[in-house]
Structure formats: structure tokens, C-alpha cells
Amino acid sequence: MQNVPLIKWIKLAVASIIFILWVVWVGNFWLLLLYPLIFDNYITRKIPWDFWKKTKDGKKPSAIVEWTDALVFALIAVYMINIFLFQNYKIPTSSLEKSLLVGDHLFVSKVSYGPRMPNTPIAFPLVQNTFPIINTKSYTSWPHWDYKRLKGFGDVKRDDIVVFNFPAGDTVPFRQTNPDYYNLMMEAGKSQLMRNQELMPKQPFNSDWERNHFLMNIGRKVIANDPNTFGEVLYRPVDRRDNYVKRCVAIPGDVFEIRSNQIYINGEAVTNPEDIQHNYQITTDGTVLNDRFFERMGISKADQQGIPPNYYLPLSKDKAEQVKGMSFIKSIEIEEEKPNGSGFQVFPFSSDYNWSRDNFGPLKMPEAGETVELNMKNLVIYERIITAYEGNKLEVKNNQIYINGELTSSYTFKMNYYFMLGDNRHKSADSRYWGFVPEDHIVGKPILVWLSLDTDKGFPANIRWDRFFKIVHN
């Protein structure tokens, strides 16, 4: 070691500082047992780290070996960056327009809320759950690590735009991922029941929870017996569920409510995001709205609905005022979905909660350590928290609730929960339809648009130059 160049000692010092800080951040000091490997790599070189690059005659390794070495290093580096620092995310739908646009490519910060240790540590980087084309899993189910989040710069705040794993994406029919599996089972069960009334039980349901499970059991069989339509039903761990991006409108402890399209938190009306959109019913004097109109209003082809002279279009308040002033517009009115008492419009899909997309709640956000009373009415709200998100076994016998085999009338939450909505309020599949987002599903915070491509246009007109390196504001 006396002949070791100074530069190697300097490199070791830098690597040692980075490694020790990382160990402290992760909080697992057993990892310090790996330090001798770092020391050997820089100083002693007892381990032949580059053995696979050496040739028998001592010549320079082939180009294939050099490229493979570079590729393996790059993949490992990308994997570590994706876990601990940031990852790329592409906006696939218009649910956040005009705050974020379809085709925006985002840098998502993992350190804003603290990176999660992966549930599935052995996975191919840059692929969320499925290899394209060959349609196979991009990860191994073993080993599986429990949820742990490292220290970050802060917590999720109200009005933050957040990337998270889709909570209802734990079970997925491979050929039909939208709507989610649970809504799909409900709809399939209702359709089957309409076709075959003999399936209806003779005794009335004791609760909406019982009704929902009855319908889902029928729907589950329909889906399982039709693989050509639905495909294989797959289970995905938390970190391998599809990534969604929405705005956090309620944090743990908040009482959330929507009244006539206006959000209230703890009884107080909130200030809406500047670019929030709602659907408007528009009637023209017979004039057909053309591409110039849609481009001027910033309405993508996917959001253009209606048959002249009647249209149903998402607009911000300012854009709606512009349309209202156009000479060929006869009427323009914001849409508002009223509760119809069916119990099937929105989460929690119960007639005991007569809510709709635009008139929802009040609903309190669960908070870690909080205990709530459980009964057959509110079980529809908390069931997935108890079972899918917090890993308990729930049973109902004679209208009595058992958790992990014990009769109970209350439950204490282990995690915090959030409510997420899209800014394009009438064009968003969000918490109004699948409920709470658990803290262990939070991925990170978008901080920058680094590329934006208009999916309605061809190259090079599709490049939105004005959105390059645009900071994502709440």
C-alpha cells in the first residue's frame, strides 16, 4: 500500500464519505460491513474486480466487452438514481390540464417527500412493471421488502402535485386496466345480474357492504371465465403499480367536501388552482366548432365531445368567459352532477353516502394513530385500508366485524392517507372513484418539465418549446 498513488486515496476518501452518509440516510448500519469492499476496490485490489474483462493474452478487451461493461454500470447508476433521487414520468392523460399537459415529460423528485426503499429490489430500471412488446414482468417478486421511507425535505402538503402508485392497481386484468379491477368487478356483476335474475339472493342485503361483495363475487367469476376479453388477472406490489399524477386536495386529518364543484376543507372554501377546468355544456347557433377554436381554447382531441350544435368541453373559468362572449354561442353552462341516491356514482359506492362527482362528502382523511368506530355503514369506506393497505384479515359474520379473527368495533390506522384530484375535474379518474391514497404509495413530487410533445400534432410541430425546463408550480 506504500506505492498507492495519492489520487486513489483521495478517491477513496470521497467514496467513503458518500457511502457513510448513504448508510446514515438509509438507517441500516449493517451496511457498513460492505466498507472493506470499497477499500479493496480503491486500495488493496485483492479482489479481481475486472476479471471478466481480462483476456488470456493480456490484450485490450473487445468492443463488446467494453460496451457491456459501460451498459451494466449505466443501468446500475440509473437504478440507484431512480430509487433515491429522481425519475422520469410522462403525463399520459388530460386529468391535470392545464396545470400539466398530455405529453409533458417530468423530473419527479424522490427526495421531496423522502425516497422509499423498494418493495421489489430486483427489477429492471426504466420499466415500471411490464417489458413492452414481450409483455413479461420487469421485476421479481422475491425478495420482498416492507415499506420504509427515508428522510426527505418535507411532507405532502395540501395543493401539492404528487406522483403516486395507483392504489386500486394491486390487481389488474392484463387486457383491460381501465376502469380498475374493483369497479370492473362491480360493473360485470351488475350486468350479469341483469341478464340472470336467478342469481339474486332471496333474502335482502343487510348492508351495502354485503351488496357490493355479492356483486364483486359475481363479477370476479365473469372476469376469470373470459380471459380473451380481460386477460390474466395479475397482482402487483405497491412499487410496481402504475404511476398516477394528481393534485393533493386533502391531507391527514382534513375533512374534505365538494359542494357544487367547489372544494371545502374543514368547512372553509379553498382557493382553486389557477388553471382548474370543468366541463361546460355549450350550444352554438349552428356554427360548427373548428380546429382553430379548439386550439385557441387549448382543448385536445381526446377532450372534444359533442355533436353540433351541442358540445361538452373542459374549460377554465377565464376560457369559459371568452367563449361566452363569442357571437355564435347561444348558451354555456357548467356541468354539475347531482347525487341520485343509487350509491353507485362515486366512492364508497353506498346509498348511505349520497354523493356524486360534484357533490361529495364530508369525508375525514384517516391519520396514523387515529382510532375510528367501525360499523356496517362505514365499513365500505375503511375496508380497503384495513385489508389491502394495512394487511389485516377482515370478516363479517352476522353483521359483526372481525379483524384478524377478533370481534371489534373500532380500528386504529397505521398510516396517513391523502385525497387526490385532477385539475381537469370532469375528465379525471381520481380519489372520488377509488378512495384514499396511502402514504406508502407516494412516489415523489414533479419539479420540472424537461420535454413536452403535443400528441395531436406531428413532428416537428408537436414540440412545445415554451414548456422546456418549465418549473412545476402548485
What would the DSSP string read from start to end of 387-408? IIIT---EEEETTEEEETTEE-
Judged on CB neighbours under 10 Å (0-12, 13-18, 19+), 378 is middle
What is each CA distance from 165 to 116, 160, 170, 240, 387, in whole angstroms? 12, 16, 9, 8, 17
Q: Which residue has the cell 341478464?
A: 195
List all residues 6 or more positions away from 56 whose beta carbon is below 8 Å from its beta carbon. none
For residue 409, the one-letter residue type is S
Q: What whole-number distance in Å separates Cα of residue 390 and Cα of residue 373?
A: 17
Helix (H, G, I), strand (E, B) or coil at 419: strand
Domains of the chain by residue range: 6-77
pLDDT at 143: 92
d(CA 119, CA 258): 35
> Please, what is the end-to-end C-alpha distance for the chain in angstroms?
55
Closest listed residue to residue 293, CA positions, set 315, 275, 269, 317:
315
> Position 301: which residue type?
K
Copy the grid coordinates of residue 246: 394528481
> What are the residue ranges of helices labelled H in 266-357?
291-297, 317-324
- pLDDT value of position 2: 65
Interatomic CA distance for residues 425 and 432, integer angstroms: 10
- State the pLDDT at residue 58: 65
Identity of the amino acid at 91: I
| Helix or strand run (H / E) with residue 83 | helix 63-84
Neighbours of 391 (CB within 10 A): 10
Sort 3 into a burial class: Cβ within 10 Å, 0-12 / 13-18 / 19+: exposed
pLDDT of residue 254: 98
Beta bridge partners of 280: 313, 334
pLDDT recorded at residue 45? 85
DSSP percent split of the chain into helix, strand, coil, nearest 5:
30, 25, 45
Lookup: cell for 174? 392484463
| Structural contact between residues 92 and 177, judged by C-beta atoms closer than 8 angstroms | no
For residues 170 and 388, is the Cβ–Cβ distance under 8 A?
Answer: yes
User: In this predicted structure, what is the pLDDT of residue 455?
Assistant: 87
Q: What is the pTM of this model?
A: 0.91
Rounded CA gap, 14 and 10, in Å? Answer: 6
- Tell me the pLDDT of the chain (474 aa) as tens digits: 668 888 989 999 999 999 999 999 988 898 999 999 999 988 888 888 777 666 666 677 777 877 887 888 888 888 999 999 999 999 988 899 888 999 999 999 999 999 999 999 999 888 889 988 888 899 998 999 999 999 999 999 999 999 999 999 999 998 888 889 999 999 999 999 999 888 888 888 999 999 999 999 999 999 999 999 999 999 999 999 999 999 999 999 999 999 999 999 999 999 999 889 999 999 999 999 999 999 999 998 889 999 999 999 999 999 999 999 999 999 999 999 999 988 889 999 999 999 999 999 999 999 999 999 999 999 999 999 999 999 999 999 999 999 999 999 999 999 999 999 999 999 999 999 999 999 999 999 999 999 999 988 888 989 999 999 999 987
Q: Which triple of cell numbers denotes residue 122?
A: 430486483
Rounded distance, CA 401 to CA 386, Å? 12
The residues annotated with a catalytic role in the active site are 95, 246
List the one residue out of 338, 357, 337 whose CA is nearest residue 347: 357
Q: Which residues contact 318 (CB under 8 A, 6 or more apart)?
A: none
